[in-house]
Structures are given as C-alpha cells and as structure tokens.
Amino acid sequence: MQTAPQAAGAAKIGVPGLPAERPLSPWFAQIVVGLASAATMVVELVAGRIMAPYIGVSLYTWTSIIGVVLAGMSLGNYLGGKLADRVASRLSLAIIFFASALSCLAILVLTAAVMGAGLQVPLPLVPRIVFFTTLIFFLPACLLGFVSPTVVKLTLRDLARTGSIVGRIYASSAFGSIIGTFLTGFVLVEYLGTRAIIWLVAAMLLVLGLVAGQFWRRRSTLLGFVGVAAVYGGLLTQRDEFVAPCHRETSYFCIRISESELEGRPVRAMVLDHLVHSYTSMEDPKFLGYGYERVYAEALEYYVQGRRDLGLLFLGGGGYTFPRYAGNVYPEAELDVVEIDPGVTEMAYLYFDLDRTPNLRSFNLDARLWMEEAPVAGRYDAAFGDAFNDLAIPYHLTTVEFNRKIRDALKPNGVYIANVIDNYKNGEFMRAYANTLRRVWPYVYLLAQGEAWNIAKANTYVLLAATQPLDREAFYRALGKDGKPVYTRILDDATFAAYLRQGRQIVFTDEYAPADNLVAPLFLERGY
C-alpha cells in the first residue's frame, strides 16, 4: 500500500508513461481544446465562401470541404497521439499552435496563388474540387487535429480519473466546435469577411501557442515565438494581396460589380461568386441583356395584354434587371421581389439606381419562408422564378409543395415563369422540374430565345406553368404585330411530351429532391 508521502513523490517525479513536467490544469486544457476545435470549424465554414468565387457553391463543394477537413482532423489526431507519446510538453503544444497559425495564413497565400491564377487541373469535376480543397485546407485541419491528443497527454496524471478528464476535454472540444460554427455562420462572415476571419484565427492560435508554451519564462524559446509572430506581421503588411475577389462579402455571396459592354452599349454587371448574374444599362432601364429575360418580357406582355394594374412577384433579385424593367414598362404595377441576401439588395440600390423604381418592394428572406408567412393568396398576375444561382439549386424551391404555394399566390389565370439551365439533349434536371410543375399546373410549356433545344450543349430555358392553355398562334401574332421581332420560341406539344417521357421520371418533393445531383454533369460541360 502506498503511503501519502510516497504518493506525493510519485506526483512529483511523474507516473511512468506520462510527462514529468507539471500537468496542465483541467480547466486550461478544456479552454485550449475548445478554442482549437472552434478554429477548426471556423476554417471549415469559411472554406466554402473562399472557394465559391472559383468553383461555385454546390453539394459537391461542401461534400469535398467537409470530407477533406474530417480527413485532416483524423490524421492529425492519429499523428498527434503518436507524437504525444514521445515528446508531449508545453513546448511541443506551443509549436503545434504556431504551425497551425502559419498553415491558416497559408490558406490565403495558396488561394491567391492557385485559384487566383486560374490553375487548370486535367481532372473530372469531383476529383478537381477535392484536389483544390485538399491543397488549401487539409494541412491546417491536420495540424489542429494534433491539439487534442497532446492536451490529453499533458493533463493526465491520475490514471484512475482518465475517463472523467478525457470526457471533459472531448465535451469542451464539441462545445468549441458548436461555438465556432454559430459564431462564423451568424456573425463573423457577415461582419468581417472571410479573409479577416482567417487573420483572426491565426492570431488566436499564436496567442494560444504563447500561453501554452509560457514563453515569457524562457528567453531562448521566446525567440521562436517572436519569429513566428514576425512572419504573421510580415504577411499582414501584404494583406491587400490576399483580399477576396469582390466588392462585398455577405453570408451568401461574394459580390462584385463590373463595367463592360454588351450589344454595343455600356452595361454594369453584378457578379455573384463566379457567375455574372445580370447586365444592366444605366441609360436604358428597358434593356435586357439575357435571352431568358427577353422571353420573360414577351411572355408577360402577352399575358397582361396591355393591362397596367398588375401584381408581379419575383423570386430572386440578383441585379434586379428584370424587376427594374417591369417597373418602367408597367409603372402602375405592384412589384414584390423576394431576395434572400440583403447585401445583394443594397448593392442593387447602390449601383443600379433601384430607387428610381418606386413601385418596387424588396423582401430579404428565403422565398420558401416568405411564402409561408406573407398574406399573398390570389394576389399576383404572374410570378417569376430566378432564384437559381448558376448551377447551385435551392432544391426546396423546386418541389411540388412549394409550387402549390406559388399557385395559391396567383390569381385564377396567373402564370408562373421560371428560368432553368440544362442540356436539353442529355440533362435530367429540366425534365424533372417540368414534371414537377405538371403535378401542380395543368399546362406547362418550354420556351427559349430561339430554338435552343436544337443545340447540343447547356443553355438557359424558360418553363411556363399556367391554368389555361397557351395559344401559340395568338402568342406570335400579338407579339409580332407591326413587324416587331419576336425572340421567344415555344416547343411544340408533341415534342415536349416525348421529351418528358424520356429517362428517369423524377418528381421533386420535400422528401426527395436530388436537384444538385441532376445538374452536376453541367459543371464539367461548362468548364468549371
């Protein structure tokens, strides 16, 4: 039996297999691990926004980022455990934090060097996304994975309390991950932007390394901290080289405004992530640069037949080009735009003179949630779906259940008009979406600027859903009077019906809506 003096001596000289230096306080260990886990989640969430301007935001982007970060953490836990058994000390823990800080800063350097330079990798879509995310984010995730096993090793002294100590440390790790997730998603991205967040995380890791290593007690090791801090400071002076490629970062998009020329006239473009979302002529609000917008305009002209007292609903604002057009062509209409990102709306007012369209109201909310809450039953003559950002599909806006809400918001003869990007020849998304619309509306038509269905590549189409049949001859006659050119073409019923019978018969519902999977082949086709 061990006496009290003997036990005290054992604590002083160390238990075999455990570090001989003074153990970490359990509370300090929990704080350190919690902050390290928070840093890991911050990096993971920020990764999606950093990569969005280059590879977009999709199911595959997020799957790759989550998988790469988890792989890095797993390897870090394994290697960290091996390292802890050999050289666990405050100094080694500090070095891990310093290395993690530098690897976080490397995210900025690599993003600017690799993605900013447009590096081309001859790989299919998914391996290419995995390659880039691994190159940029694997190392910081791996190094942060070293922290937990090292802290556990430095905290354990009484083997009889191993379970409780490890349990508390793991709980702190999970709690830190939760805080990092909420703080990033709800606060940091909106108020700081992605690059500033990375600088902040790196600075926090440097401070953790300083505190863990207690460098103020050792002059020799203090020089190591000063060196790492100098690297941080040097990169900080060059921070303008690592800024995001946009004018404003929001919780949803990296927004950039650019000037260009279209059809011989100067236009201003709004770029959301890597997609030019709209072209707007500041001189002529009736100018429409995209073909699908011209189809929208002609379909609206035909259905309203000269009426001016209209109610029009726009799901998705972007550069507000078409709502601005409608507000000028139909000045007595009431225009409601539902745009999820308030930053997009603010940029539209700032750069596109949206305040000159007084009959327009904008609501910054998810379209599904807005439809749930707003008292809009039977209010609109037409609704326009333009919430699909490039090939990132908000699947909850495609389902039968959501389309029923749209129909309820329309007047008895109202129409729903939505743009779709797909390959008519071999794509599957547009067919599934059209079949979904047919579950709600008795009449669905495929429109395009010109006969786009004869082109064997991805294109933008318009699906029109109505409660009454569309008379094609009357449509062309009404729009083409006085020799006016008609941009819109409508696919004939027989060909469209045969198209809808091809392939898998998918209908989107709230329980099953594989929209991202169906549009994935288009990424590679369009050179992403």
Percentage of the chain beyond pLDDT 70 is 87
Secondary structure, 3-state, 469-487 = CCCHHHHHHHHCHHHCCCC
CATH fold for the domain made of 289-525: Rossmann fold (3.40.50)
Cβ contacts of residue 160 below 8 Å, gap of 6+?
none
Rounded Cα distance between 466 and 49, Å, is 38
Extents of the domains making up the chain: 19-245, 289-525
Whole-number pLDDT of residue 275: 76
Rounded Cα distance between 17 and 99, Å, is 26
Same fold flag, 19-245 and 289-525: no
Rounded Cα distance between 324 and 353, Å, is 9
Query: What is the pTM assigned to this prediction?
Result: 0.79
Residue-wise pLDDT for 7-32, tens only, equals 444 343 344 454 556 778 888 899 99
CATH fold for the domain made of 19-245: Growth Hormone; Chain: A; (1.20.1250)
Whole-number pLDDT of residue 158: 61
Cα–Cα distances (Å) from 212 to 29, 149, 151, 161, 165, in that order, read 9, 15, 10, 23, 18
Cβ contacts of residue 146 below 8 Å, gap of 6+?
76, 77, 79, 80, 83, 96, 100
Residues of the chain where predicted confidence (pLDDT) is lower than 70: 1-21, 116-121, 125, 158-161, 215-225, 228, 235-236, 238-243, 389-391, 523-528
- Whether the CB-CB separation of 300 and 415 falls below 8 Å is answered with no
Whole-number pLDDT of residue 116: 64
Beta carbons within 10 angstroms of residue 409's beta carbon: 21
Q: What residue has token string 């490397």?
A: 106
Dihedral sign of CA atoms 445, 446, 451, 453 in order: negative
Whole-number pLDDT of residue 216: 61
Q: What residue has token string 């100098």?
A: 230
Amino acid present at 54: Y
Rounded Cα distance between 42 and 137, Å, is 12
